[in-house]
Structure 1
């Protein structure tokens, strides 16, 4: 069994603006869509009805935006940093549809750091997330905000 790496030195001060990481690809399958529909209760025809989709603009079934978001964020979760946690996501946009057998990859870039307004022991780190398909088209974008412990608290 492969172990997840634990990073023990990534405090607020260690994040570098402009640092970028890119994942390997992951193909979205029909099974992904069916399982996600079962988990969420979203059985809209855009995802489940091939005949209906054939009469629509895109002509075929597409993955749920929330499925693409969930898979993409999971693809970036390769290490555990005990000094940081996800604070949430802003500006989530489903830019283009993802279809069955499309392959996505994720690029995450550190874009900003800022002080926490109340906690002197922590700060926020912003990460721009771009999800691209096999044609290098952006299909999803959002901002990921981390709450990160400082090595040295502010005065």
Structure 2
């Protein structure tokens, strides 16, 4: 077998069914995640980066950026490999946050197929997912609605 024989493992449009549910692995939000995000984005907001200030807020401590929660959740989805080589575009997204994510919280996701429809272009379709993000105490911390354009056939190298 050669690299050119590799077929990406992602699920095709036809393999997604409305109502299907999947649980991802989990990941702990660390100090390094927050510092790296602050450096990358240039957003050094005190709520996330100043321990003394964080203790004086309504949260009682520093909290993770909402965008870090979103980015880590998309990474958890990517680690399932269900989108690899088949999801060609993220067409739309909406995110709401129910609870703060704190340093050392461990989050995981439940992915639910909400809707699907064929694309106007043959060979692909549009699939809408609802993603529920939970912490280690099974409290929902975020909810996402992601709309992907997904190929009808698996890609290969």
Shorter chain as normaliser: what TM range?
0.7 to 0.9
State whether structure 2 residue 102 is matched by structure 1 residue 107: no
More moved, 85-94 vs 46-55: 85-94
The residue number in structure 2 matching 1:6 is 8
- Structure 1 residue 83 displacement after superposition: 3.1
State whether structure 2 residue 2 is matched by structure 1 residue 38: no
Structure 2 residue corresponding to 1:136, chosen from 126, 135, 138: 138
Matches of residues 1-155 of structure 1 in structure 2 within 5 Å?
Answer: 6-7=8-9, 10-78=11-79, 79=81, 81-116=84-119, 118-150=120-152
Aligned-residue RMSD, C-alpha? 2.0
Instruction: Classify the secondary structure of the residue corresponding to 2:25.
Output: coil
List alignment gaps of at least 5 residues for structure 2. 1-6
**Cα distance in 2 for residues equivalent to 1:28 and 1:150:** 35
- Structure 1 residue 45 displacement after superposition: 0.5
TM-score (norm 1): 0.85
List alignment gaps of at least 5 residues for structure 1. none
- Structure 1 residue 72 displacement after superposition: 0.9
TM-score (norm 2): 0.84
- Structure 1 residue 25 displacement after superposition: 1.6
How many aligned residue pairs are there?
146
Structure 1 residues 89 and 142: CA distance shift in structure 2, 3 A: farther
Structure 1 ranges of 4+ moved more than 3 A: none
**Cα distance in 2 for residues equivalent to 1:126 and 1:57:** 35
Deviations 1:86-126 (A, max 9, x none): 3244221122111111110111111110132x323321011
